[in-house]
Amino acid sequence: MRDSKLLSFAIFGVLFLVNGVIGEDPYRFFTWKVTYGDIYPLGVKQRGILINGQFPGPQIDAVTNDNLVISVFNYLREPFLISWDGIQQRRNSWQDGNFGTNCPIPSGRNFTYKIQVKDQIGSFFYFPSLKFHKAAGGFGGIRIWSRPKIPVPFPNPAGDFTVLAGDWFKTNHYILRRGYLDRGRALPNPDGILINGRGWNGYTFTVDQGKTYRFRISNVGLTASINFRIQGHKMKLVEVEGSHTLQNMYDSLDIHLGQSLSVLVTANQPVQDYYVVVSSRFTRRVLTTTAVLHYSNSRKGVSGPIPWGPTTQIAWSVSQARSIRWNLTASGPRPNPQGSYHYGLIKPARTIMLGNSAPWINGKQRYAVNSVSYVQPDTPLKLADHFNIQGVFSVGSIPTNPTGGSGYLQTSVMHANFREYVEIVFQNWEDTVQSWHIDGHSFFVMGMEGGQWTPASRARYNFRDTVARSTTQVYPRAWTAIYIALDNVGMWNVRSQNWERQYLGQQFYLRVYSPAHSWRDEYPIPRNALLCGRARGRHTRPL
């Protein structure tokens, strides 16, 4: 039974590769100018990072399998890269836009990303990955629509809103970076929350009474989980990072760092304006901001008390997380194992356990995974690997289980075999909520619970209808376990979505490796790849 299923996945895989010719799908072209610009999101002037003059940056709309050609012109005085959260970059970690995969676009230069949103739907976002630029903007929403013939498990909404929300600092990003992080000092608390780049009642969503709207909400913040709610309105959850969910109703939803989801909201209340509220979660001081849900014929502004968020802390959030399930009968592209709902029937080949910690190293605050605090090499790992440049990294430079030892600095790369099916347990012994992301893949969230994970914990996994997503939270002194099909050859960033932690070392790269070196498994290096560090002067094609 199990073997015949695996065989059918394999056959499907071959057909997929034979048919999956990149040239057949439509192209969409974007030209982005990245500049500094004055922004005043919390009332004080800050140097923001704008894309085509906009903060947040422009929305990307795409249909499943579209090819996106995005030319980025860097007019900052610093090197710059954009990464694409949750976009799987199949066979193509060359376009992932982290320092481990790409050379930074130098000041005054340009680079053209070529990205195919293969077999994906859903709500995602892009962000600047280097130098704490994310604290200055440079992020924007990505919507991947289903192809016209693919049924979507809910009626077409009357409108589709992107909500980019998150905590924000009034301090400029280079001071956060140079004055705090680079000196080994933890960041101060954030100053507020932004909704689409605006503070209190700064942003308006206009709706017609009686109609239903989709809100795609991403937590693009730096350090805090958030809670989202709309005064007087219930929300029907329909999608989480590309998985169509069971359509449960919620009064409010927790969204952890880097996570995205979609809800449907029907404007079924008396005609007036209502608060759209985002507040920080699990922070000592609760930060709150509001936007406005404006009924198109309303003459009455927002009024009444701002609805409270959940007052109970962890238990409420955990039980809400468990209620988020996959709609097994909804159509749409599926995560691997391709075309299958049977992720729970396949036995993982091994278990990797990742423990986060906050060690002091050489008198500086750092963050670590299995005691290793990641340091940037002088050359992107992907290029060092491709050109076989020795001494940049070594595979196996991070243990696959927590060691309990004290923290140390290392350019950490973990080995994995192409098509390996792996269980990863994120074990959190700290007092803060963690948020973990894996590039190039989506994974099944099997379970989360307090305490230490043991093999007996598997008895309480969801083997049937959990969602596949690319970012999962891990509660304080608790674990979260995932199953992941490593079906995408490349050099993939595994990171904390807390940007202070990511910047100070809570990340590493997973090198998903195939000895076949076939273009069926991984595209060749792009002709326009920037070459830097010890890859400078090499050639992207053999001479």
Ligand X SMILES: *[C@@H]1O[C@H](CO)[C@@H](O)[C@H](O)[C@H]1NC(C)=O
- Site residues, ligand X (CB under 6 A): 71, 109-110, 153, 246-247, 327, 329-330
E strand map for 318-419: 350-357, 360-361, 364-365, 368-369, 372-374, 394-395, 408-410, 412-417
Quick check: bond before 542 cis, omega within 30?
Answer: no
Residue 152 CB, shortest distance to ligand X, in Å, is 8
Beta strands in 401-506 (DSSP E): 408-410, 412-417, 420-428, 434-438, 443-450, 468-469, 471-474, 478-486, 490-496
Q: Please, what is the minimum distance in Å from the beta carbon of residue 168 to ligand X?
A: 32
How far apart are CB 86 and ligand X at their closest, in Å? 22
Are residues 391 and 405 in contact, defined by beta-carbon separation less than 8 angstroms?
no
Q: Which residues pair with 320 in a beta bridge?
A: none
Residue 428 to residues 51, 361, 456, 474, 499, Cα–Cα distance (Å)? 36, 20, 18, 7, 17
The Cβ-side half-sphere exposure at 130, using a 13 Å CA radius, reads 21
Q: What is the identity of the amino acid at 353?
A: M
Of 346, 339, 342, nearest in space to 423 by CA: 346
**Distance of closest approach, residue 247 Cβ to ligand X, in angstroms:** 3
CB closest to ligand X, residue no? 153
Question: DSSP state, 177?
Answer: I
Look up tokens 């906009």; give the residue. Answer: 54
In whole angstroms, how close is the CB of 527 to ligand X at the nearest point?
A: 11
Minimum CB distance to ligand X smaller for 9 or for 73: 73
Residue 74 or 336 having the CB closest to ligand X: 74
- DSSP, collapsed to helix, strand or coil, labels residue 292 as strand
- The least CB distance from residue 304 to ligand X, in Å, is 31
**Alpha-carbon gap, residue 245 to 311, rounded angstroms:** 25
H helical segments located in 238-338: 314-323
In the bound state with ligand X, the residue whose beta carbon lies nearer, of 54 and 71, is 71
Nearest approach, Cβ of residue 532 and ligand X (Å): 13
User: Of the two residues 329 and 390, which places its CB atom closer to ligand X in the complex?
Assistant: 329
Nearer to ligand X, 78 or 208 (CB): 78
Please state, as a whole number, how many other Cβ atoms lie within 10 Å of the Cβ of residue 410: 18
278-to-262, 272, 294 alpha-carbon distances in Å: 15, 20, 16
Residue (74 or 171) nearer to ligand X, CB: 74
CB of 73 to ligand X, least distance (A): 7
Nearer to ligand X, 148 or 305 (CB): 148
The two structure tokens encoding residue 128: 């600047």
Q: Which of 111/503 has CB closer to ligand X?
A: 111
Report the nearest approach of ligand X to the CB of residue 531 (Å). 12
- Minimum distance of ligand X from residue 104's CB (angstroms): 13
In this complex, which beta carbon is closest to ligand X, that of residue 250 or of residue 408?
250
Distances (CA, A) of 75 to 108, 312, 445: 5, 46, 40
Q: Which is nearer to ligand X, 110 or 514 (CB)?
A: 110
The token pair at 463 is: 């083997």
* Nearest to ligand X of 78, 465 (CB atom): 465
CA–CA separation, 318 and 22 (whole Å): 41
Minimum distance from residue 109 beta carbon to ligand X (Å):
6
- Beta strands 204-207 and 288-295: pairing type? parallel
Of 109 and 477, which has the nearer Cβ to ligand X? 109
Shortest gap between Cβ of 163 and ligand X (angstroms)?
22
DSSP bridge partners of 24: none
Exposed, middle or buried: residue 346 (CB in 10 Å: 0-12, 13-18, 19+)?
middle
d(CA 292, CA 305) in angstroms, rounded, equals 14
Q: Report d(CA 297, CA 303) in Å as an integer.
A: 16
Smallest gap from residue 227 Cβ to ligand X (A):
23
Q: How far is the CB of 251 from ligand X (least distance, A)?
A: 18
Query: 67, 27 in Cβ contact below 8 A?
Result: yes
> What is the H or E stretch that residue 19 is in?
helix 2-19
Q: Which is nearer to ligand X, 153 or 192 (CB)?
A: 153
Query: Of 20 and 153, which CB lies nearer to ligand X in the complex structure?
Result: 153
